[in-house]
Amino acid sequence: MNTFDYIIVGAGSAGCPVARALTEDPNVSVLLVEAGPHADRFWVNTPAGMAKLYFNERLNWNYHTEPLAKLKNRRMYWPRGKTLGGSSSINGMVFIRGHAKDFDSWRDLGNPGWGYDDVLPHFKAMEHFERRADQWRGQGGPLWISDPVVKSASSYDFIESASRLGHPRTEDMNGEAHDGVGFMQHSIKGGRRHSAFVAFVKPILNRKNLTVVTDAPVQRVLFDGKAATGIEVKHEGELRRFTAAREVILSGGALNTPQLLMLSGVGPGGELQKHGIPVVHESAGVGQNLQDHFYMHTGWRATADSSYNANIAGLRKYWEGFKYLMTRRGYLALGSSQVAAFVKSSPDEPYADLQISFRPMTFQYFPDGTVAVENQPGMGVSVYQLRPQTTGTVTLRSNRPSDKAVSSPEFLTDPYDIAAMISGIKQIRQIMTTEPIRSRVVSEEVPGPKVRTDEDIFNFMVETGNSAHHQGGTCKMGRDPMAVVDERLRLRGIERLRVVDASIMPHLTSGNTNAPTIMIGVKGGEMIRLDATPRRAISA
């Protein structure tokens, strides 16, 4: 049983929908390979458990960037899911599709079939939106999308303050109007995390044509000339080979997929030769075009009734835990943020290029890697730029699969990006000093009143700026010389090999990237099924 029609590398946000789509045909066999373990654990299923997963050594790749010259040589931490469901099993569960113009831009960059009108049916088909189905939203799909079960009074006040500053209210940022301010939605069902694995694969585990293998990191893709023939994995301490009669599909994510391609001999020729890897196919764009959303956090000391810190810290957290176990409701059933405001950094922007997120609680991070809710009442407000101009790279550290790739984003190297983020900090302050949210603020703790000028804000960004953990673009889709895959997600220059994950994004979407990544898996799975690559002859 080492031969399958399709082999999917990575049981994450994109790989799980691909597996579901391909196994619809009972005459097709599918192997889904995941580097990490199963994900059926209490703190994975519990939405508030994300804080305990942030540095988890078993379920998280725990990546770091290289030292960043523009950020005082800091190494930025990049958590990525290493378990069934991938990052959808450890993230904040925020569900944001992105702006319609994001996808129209993908189409206009040489990718027919990826405009908003093309992807909207896939977004609708993949979801069950609790509130309704209409022209924009779907019901009956595998992935459950819900509103927060607790909507804090301070969240309503934040929305009101933003609206008084001219930002329109939106009751559904995944519907007709993306830009504006309103409550976020989350991939949570009945108070439990609804990961891509739980939504797409767990219900079909009884399909006889699906095989799932966990704790099996893939070492390389195998080739016969310019055709992919299978994979080599490390499983239970041994190297094993699996053969693909039709196709190999890479869904390892924006960091792992380009690394695996290069380890397998597909990538920039100079990079492969530097590490003594025989070149199967030179593809200059593999590992290039790395993008991420640069993120800034602000913290506000709040009045007692404006924050739920006290409810999930100290002795009261045990009552919340008991309530959650009994009802699957309460503060432990909430995602990472309550409200989002999509705003422009300047009037010249065609549509919002900043996402401001509000949460009526605050975390404290300790040097040993642990995370705890602050004891004092607090409100957290963050911002990140949606359309960064800078791009970085993912390259190899060595020719050993066990060595993590070299990730080098280029944060704070572009004047446009810097100006947009400075505007974002200023707009947070505008909102938080506007009634009615203003009455809930005791003091601005981070960055604090000493940070006033643009230069002060820039220095604050240098010292504390972080990542929103939305990496993408490293095997981009397109037709230019740096494009790695075509619009059918087939690897250019290689047969029987596709990439289906966030790495194919020509540029990032406007918002959290999990929802569009799942959509890529849904659309990609349908394309592979419709293309129905013929089985190749396999000798005994």
**Helices vs. strands in the chain: H and E counts, helices first:** 13, 28
Cis peptide bond prior to 481, omega within 30° of 0:
no
CA separation for the pair 214, 83 (Å, rounded) = 8
CA separation for the pair 437, 447 (Å, rounded) = 18
CA separation for the pair 128, 204 (Å, rounded) = 17
Structure tokens at 381: 């407000």
Structure tokens at 340: 């989002």
CA separation for the pair 170, 355 (Å, rounded) = 14
CA separation for the pair 270, 372 (Å, rounded) = 45
The answer to whether 246 and 63 are in contact (CB under 8 A) is no
Give catalytic status of residue 122 as yes or no: no
Task: Tell me whether residue 91 is annotated as binding.
Answer: yes
Cα–Cα distances in angstroms (integers) from residue 14 to residues 22, 252, 427, 524, in the given order: 13, 8, 34, 8
Task: Tell me whether residue 218 is annotated as binding.
Answer: yes
Catalytic residue, from 128, 167, 281, 470: name it.
470
CA separation for the pair 70, 411 (Å, rounded) = 7
Strands (E), 218-282: 218-224, 227-235, 238-250, 266-267, 281-282
Taking Cα atoms as reference points, which of 337, 335, 342, 334 lies closest to residue 511?
342
Q: Which ranges of 268-414 does DSSP label H, i.e. alpha helix?
A: 269-274, 316-327
The answer to whether 244 and 4 are in contact (CB under 8 A) is yes
The secondary element (H helix, E strand) that includes residue 385 is strand 378-385
Task: Tell me whether residue 421 is annotated as binding.
Answer: no
Task: Tell me whether residue 432 is annotated as binding.
Answer: no
CA separation for the pair 297, 384 (Å, rounded) = 9
Task: Tell me whether residue 94 is annotated as binding.
Answer: yes
CA separation for the pair 401, 384 (Å, rounded) = 32
CA separation for the pair 276, 6 (Å, rounded) = 29
Just list the catalytic residues. Answer: 470
Tell me the binding residues for FAD.
Answer: 91-94, 218
